[in-house]
Structure 1
Amino acid sequence: MKPLRPALLAALLACATPLPALAANLKATVSQAFQSMLYLPLYVAIDEGLFEKAGLDVTKETAGAPSVALSAVISKSAQFSIHGPEWTAVAASKGAPVNVVANVVNGAAVWIATAPDFPWTDVKSLKGQTIVTGLMPTTSTSLFLKLLKENGMSKDDVTLTQVALGTEPGPFLAGQAKVAVMYEPGLDQVVAKGMKVVLGFPEKYGPYAFSAVSARKDVDPAVAQAFVNGMQAAIRLMQAEPARAVAVAKREFPNLDPAVVEAAVKRMMSEKVYPDSVDISKEALTLGLDTQIALGNLAAQPDYASFVRRDFIAKAVAGN
């Protein structure tokens, strides 16, 4: 029997030696409208390595506006965007090949705060008052106008002081108004200064599709499934270990008072602002988009069956 040649022997030995697991080569970019505490499930998925466990390398970019984030998806410079689903619905109604693939925020994450001496009894207490709120278009102001209408009032019954998003605490704490409509973490910033919360939209409206992950209809199915899987794993981790979610939030918002960050996350978790899963119910989507229809921003509800990619959602929920 002839001896094996060195090159052949080396090849055979290489085949017999167990190979290391191949690293996942799936990559994706997600464009978020803003760096927002509302998007904590995304940050948990990134910071806790849950996208990597799902086989996906994710790069996060901040667009500065929902429309810009969605435009990145439409132009294919990003695979996913995170913002209110109404932006996706409007774009889809105009022919853009986009839909939503996962839930991110499932509660109407807006609250009304007042000065401690404000005589609040109900919404009609606001008649004639100056209200600090976000510059339109924004969901906080949209929801507030919806609330007024539901109570037989209109924007003419109050004086709106609209300011850039995130700056609402300034004029409110300075005494320019005794009422403010707010997102987190601004809400808990003013609560820490003695202001009181008189109405929470999450409790009032229940499940409400507030923010979602959007993608093109022709997104790579493997990439989309891995992304939705990672988001689902993040939501599960937040529910099982809320302290880890708080720790991620403190890392993502290092310039905020850690006590405010913790209070904001705990409030949103207790009031079910963060979802139980990546699923988006038809009822929650309808309620969320009805607000935009009432304001004239959207003509009609999209077809739920084609607008929500339940194939990705169902597999992620079943696997996590």
Structure 2
Amino acid sequence: MKKMKWLALLSALILLFLSACGSSSTTTIKIGEVTRSLFYAPQYVAIEKGFFEEEGLEVELQTTWGGDKTMTALLSDGIDVALVGSETSIYVYAQDSKDFAVNFAQLTQTDGTFLVAKEEKPDFTWEDLKDSSFLGQRKGGMPQMVGEYVLKQYGIDPHNDLTLHQNIEFANIPGAFLSGDYEYVQLFEPTASVFEKEGNGHVIASFGEESGHVPYTVFMAKQSYIEENEENIEKFTRAIYKAQQWVQETDSREIAETIQKYFEDVDLDILTSSIERYKNQDSFAPDPILDEEEWNNLKNIMDEAGELPDGDISYEELVNTEIAEDVINN
């Protein structure tokens, strides 16, 4: 009889323990990524390796296709966190937004595009771009501004020394280059490598190597959201930092295998070589801190492109490094 009572008590305790474990709260955070890109490998790693889950977070990832659409989704509360170029936070701030976007965790620290030519260019020099037909990116976006910045470093005026086309939507640029009469284009990986493999283009230069460190893609949230959810933002940043460290320490093949589900139509070897390209030029930020030198480089690039708004673009207001610093130190 006593044995039965003990068994009943033990069963009750086990059920109570399981119930307590099951009741632990999980917070959902909605992320909007500006595009689907291998350039964002650490984000996919954070999901697939369970780093968000370890922090008690469940992320809902959606691709919002373009900086303007991403920021509209963020400001209208369609998403909680945006993964987008940090220049967008400057544009919003310049519009005197009362609840502006704050950059809190940097993901990539170089431009992610490569110069792709339709024909082979074994002896390529930047001078070859003069008088050519160049399929550019969206006006005011980071790829286009960095592209113009690099060309100017080589004495090329992108609006007068070549024919610059900017009338194609971001998602349609690869197809337009393939079917059009353009000689050059800026492409992200793995698209650039796919074009190479299929004989539709040739990677001849890297804009990331030419432009230096810049806060190219950053996680940002509205000021009010960060203030009201600081603990969850810290957990989010910690998950990203774990992924950044893992990417730094892991070979490209294993990274590619880990995130292959996000690029189902791309051969594993292409994913591997593309990740290796990004790793070789230090595109993946090793930690989430956006430092002031990178911020100033961003402003110089925007200024060169004629896109930097008038007035003080405050690093102190638009960048929060305290959360990332706490994560790294603890």
TM-score (norm. length: structure 1)? 0.86
Q: What SS class does the counterpart of residue 103 from structure 1 fall into?
A: strand
| Equivalent in 180, 183, 191 of residue 178 of structure 1 | 183
- String of CA shifts for 1:275-306, please: whole Å, max 9, x gaps: 11111121112212322233232315622223
AA matched with 1:144: G
Q: Which residue of 1 aligns with 2:162?
A: 158
The worse-fitting range, judged by mean Cα deviation, of 100-109 and 88-97 is: 88-97
- String of CA shifts for 1:226-260, please: whole Å, max 9, x gaps: 11111111111111223332123321010223322
Q: Which residue of 2 aligns with 1:318?
A: 329
Q: For 2:78 and 2:132, how far apart are their aligned partners in 1?
A: 45
Q: Which residue of 1 aligns with 2:62?
A: 61
Question: For the structure 1 residues 119 and 176, does the alpha-carbon distance in structure 2 shift closer, same or farther, using more than 3 Å as the test?
Answer: farther
The worse-fitting range, judged by mean Cα deviation, of 160-169 and 99-108 is: 160-169
Q: Which residue of 1 aligns with 2:143?
A: 140
Offset, 1:309: 1.1
TM-score (norm. length: structure 2)? 0.84
Q: For 1:72 and 1:169, how far apart are their aligned partners in 2?
A: 25
Question: For the structure 1 residues 221 and 144, does the alpha-carbon distance in structure 2 shift closer, same or farther, using more than 3 Å as the test?
Answer: same
Q: Which residue of 1 aligns with 2:235?
A: 226
Offset, 1:82: 0.7
Question: For the structure 1 residues 76 and 263, does the alpha-carbon distance in structure 2 shift closer, same or farther, using more than 3 Å as the test?
Answer: same
- String of CA shifts for 1:71-107, please: whole Å, max 9, x gaps: 3332333221110000012112222432101001111
Alignment map for 1:56-135 (pairs within 5 Å): 56-93=57-94, 94-95=96-97, 96-118=99-121, 120-135=123-138
AA matched with 2:127: K
Q: What SS class does the counterpart of residue 264 from structure 1 fall into?
A: helix
| Equivalent in 276, 297, 301 of residue 266 of structure 1 | 276
Q: What SS class does the counterpart of residue 229 from structure 1 fall into?
A: helix
- String of CA shifts for 1:108-131, please: whole Å, max 9, x gaps: 112212245437443222111112
Offset, 1:23: 2.5
Offset, 1:172: 4.3
Alignment map for 1:234-245 (pairs within 5 Å): 234-242=243-251, 243-245=253-255
Q: For 2:123 and 2:129, how far apart are their aligned partners in 1?
A: 8
Offset, 1:196: 3.5
Q: For 1:126 and 1:73, how far apart are their aligned partners in 2?
A: 37
AA matched with 1:312: I
Contact 2:48 2:259 in 1 (8 A): no
Contact 1:119 1:125 in 2 (8 A): no
Q: Which residue of 1 aligns with 2:317?
A: 306
Aligned-residue Cα RMSD (Å) equals: 2.8
Offset, 1:267: 0.9
Contact 1:118 1:178 in 2 (8 A): no
Q: For 2:31 and 2:268, how far apart are their aligned partners in 1?
A: 26
AA matched with 1:221: E
Q: For 1:122 and 1:226, how far apart are their aligned partners in 2?
A: 46
Question: For the structure 1 residues 170 and 70, does the alpha-carbon distance in structure 2 shift closer, same or farther, using more than 3 Å as the test?
Answer: closer
Residues 1:296 and 2:294 aligned together: no
Q: Percent identity?
A: 17
AA matched with 2:270: V
